[in-house]
Amino acid sequence: MPAYTADQLHWKAVAHKVAEEVVRPQAKKYDELQQYPWEIKDAMAKAGLMSVWIPKEYGGSGGGVGSLCVVIEELSRACGGVGVAYAVNALGSFPILLGGTEEQKQKWLPLIAKGEKLIAFGLSEKFAGSDAGGMRTHGRLDGDHYVINGEKKWCTNGGCADIFSVFCVTDPESKAKRISALLVEKGTPGFTLQKQEDKMGIRCVPVNEIHFKECRVPVANLLGGKPGHGFKHAMQTLDYARPGVAAQAMGLACGALELSQVYAQKRQQFGVPISSHQAVGFMLADMATKVEAARLLVMEAARLVDARAEGITKLSAMCKLYATDVAMEVTTNAVQIFGGYGYMKDYPIEKYMRDAKITQIYEGTNQIQRMVVARNLVKETTELDFLQKWIPTEVQRGGIEPVAVIAKA
Ligand code: CAA
């Protein structure tokens, strides 16, 4: 167990109560209906959960990413769909927190903290998923408005959000300052909600395409008031948000593990509980070890994000990739432990496995996370120059043999 702060323990208890009283009993219903759980959102807002990650000066509770992760874990233990329906508001609001003007922060964040407005994040497109910088949605400056044309794909919360952080190309000629972020309100003429996806998991949260046709957004909604900073704001946002996806994954893994523990203790085969068969006992031991390791990594990443420490990009990617791979492994093994019962929709365990899969994909596939980690390792290698003398001399020279040596041979 990580060394939680008093604030984190407080939010853990509040979120646990909401999860057990409101979320778990209704998880199956909303999964089947594939409908946004408004009553659960109201219960979360009433308990103050929507304010957790927002600083006090903007109407929040100032719990930061650490408390946010604790809440996401508790909710996801009961339902992974509710976990992301909650977490995606942090993803949508981080661009404002990280890059917004004081006026933009004062205008939008208190409404989000109260749960009066939901927010979504519009980055991915049909032809620009992993290659986020390859987006085509365009924002043209026209007087005191930007005119947006294009479409965004896989917008989580799309069908229920009031505000959208939308990334678009405002300077196609520039390499470094090509992209800007605009805050778009639902109901703006030219903005439409399109295809609602029919998903394998996280079914209670609507994921939509959002389309823009000559959609006019006031210049005042340009994030940070200056164009060209959108890509950096998107990347920084993902650094802040990925521990939340990791927490969702870890909550799913933990929820599936807990159900498996109970099942394996009660289920008798060959005259004893199956947990006393080494084959199952060792599975449970590995599952529990990996959940705990994931939790420690997530909370350490969150701590460093809150401390605005150097190098958070790498740790944020690491915790996302590790916890989500663990979630897939643990939830799959949980279905295995439940055997025939595990495969049936009568019981919640199969839903954990379905909900877990997306965590390896969204907010950057785990292949992208590995790429981010690998790139950072290359950067850090210059600090290890002092170790060079311990590697083969010819390798130190970059594999190029001096001409004299070749001539002699
Ligand atoms: N923080 C600050 N700046 C950063 C940064 C970071 N973490 N990462 C990159 N940058 C900067 C670089 O320093 C560079 O700046 P300069 O030009 O000034 O040097 C610039 O951004 C470009 O960086 P790269 O050359 O590294 O960019 P790239 O095109 O090679 O892409 C990438 C990098 C990491 C692959 C990035 O494209 C990426 O993260 N892709 C995945 C996108 C993603 O996660 N999408 C999911 C969206 S959300 C979602 O899933 C839906 C939902 O609703 C939940």
pLDDT along the chain (409 residues), means of 10: 94 98 98 98 98 98 98 98 98 98 98 98 97 97 98 97 98 95 98 98 98 98 98 98 98 98 98 98 98 98 96 96 98 98 98 98 98 96 91 84 61
CATH (domain of 260):
1.20.140.10
Q: Judge if 15 and 108 occupy the same domain.
A: yes
Write the residue with the smallest CA distance to atom 25 of ligand 1: 133
Tell which residue, 248, 361, 332, 257, has the closest CA to residue 298.
248
pLDDT at 397: 84
**Is the Cβ atom of 248 under 6 angstroms away from ligand 1?**
no
Instruction: Tell me what pLDDT residue 406 has.
Output: 58
Ligand 1 centroid to Cα of residue 141, in Å, is 24
* Number of domains observed in the structure of the chain: 3
Is 231 touching ligand 1 by the criterion CB < 6 Å?
A: yes
Q: Is the CB of 28 under 6 A from ligand 1?
A: no
- Per-residue tokens: 22: 């409101």
Question: Are residues 239 and 359 both part of a single domain?
Answer: yes
Tell me what pLDDT residue 260 has: 98
Contact 290, 330 (CB under 8 A): yes
Q: Which of 160, 193, 227 is at the close of a domain?
A: 227
Q: How far apart are CA 120 and CA 125, in angstroms?
A: 14
Structural domain contains residue 391: no
| Ligand 1 nearest atom to the CA of residue 84, by list position | 54
Q: Is the CB of 123 under 6 A from ligand 1?
A: yes
CB atoms within 10 A of CB 7: 16
Select from 91, 207, 232 the residue to mutate for testing ligand 1; criterion: most ligand atoms less than 8 Å from CB.
232
241 & 337 share domain: yes
Residue 400 lies in a domain: no
Distance 133 CA to ligand 1 centre (A): 7
Is residue 393, in this structure, part of any structural domain at all?
A: no
Instruction: Check whether residue 18 and residue 74 sit in a common domain.
Output: yes
Phi, psi of 179 (to 5 degrees): -115, 145
Range of the domain at 284: 232-381
* Position in ligand 1 atom list of the atom nearest CA 372: 34
Same domain, 126 and 221: yes
Looking from the CA of residue 313, the nearest atom of ligand 1 is 7
Q: Where does a domain end: 103, 118, 133?
A: 118
* 259 and 340 share one domain: yes
Say which CATH number the domain at 58 has.
Answer: 1.10.540.10
- Within a domain: 408: no
**pTM (two decimals):** 0.96
The C-alpha atoms of residue 338 and residue 336 are separated, in whole angstroms, by: 5
- Which residue is closest in CA terms to ligand 1's atom 9? 235
Among 99, 118, 137, which residue terminates a domain?
118
User: Ligand 1: which residue has its CA nearest to atom 44?
Assistant: 364
Q: State the closest ligand 1 atom to the C-alpha of 175, by its place in the atom list counted from 1.
A: 17
398 in a domain, yes or no? no
Q: What share of the chain is helix, strand, coil (3-state, %, to 5)?
A: 60, 15, 25
Residues 33 and 131 in one domain: no
